[in-house]
Amino acid sequence: MAGAAKVTVCEVEEIVEVGELNPDDIHTPNIFVQRLIVGEKYEKRIEQLTTRAK
């Protein structure tokens, strides 16, 4: 979808230096991104620890 857009805005947790990220973890290449917004508060709903009784 980002490749077909005129402007792509990415909301990020933090901005890091070049080379700090694993290339396999990047979903949208920078050539398709025109704007970055650093978010203030994140709630990672899918990354919760789930345990069960044994």
pLDDT in tens, 31-53: 999 999 998 877 767 666 777 77
- Beta carbons within 10 angstroms of residue 39's beta carbon: 9
Distance CA 23, CA 46 (A): 22
Length of the chain: 54
Supply the range of the domain harboring residue 14: 2-38
Within a domain: 8: yes
> What single-letter amino acid sits at 4?
A
Within a domain: 51: no
Within a domain: 23: yes
Within a domain: 34: yes
pLDDT score recorded for residue 40? 86
Within a domain: 43: no
Token pair for 30 = 């920078």
> What single-letter amino acid sits at 52?
R
Within a domain: 16: yes
Give pTM, 2 decimals. Answer: 0.58
**pLDDT per residue over 11-34, tens digit each?**
888 899 989 999 998 888 889 999
Within a domain: 49: no
What is the domain count for the chain?
1
Q: Is 14 buried (19+), middle (13-18) or exposed (0-12) by CB count in 10 A? A: exposed
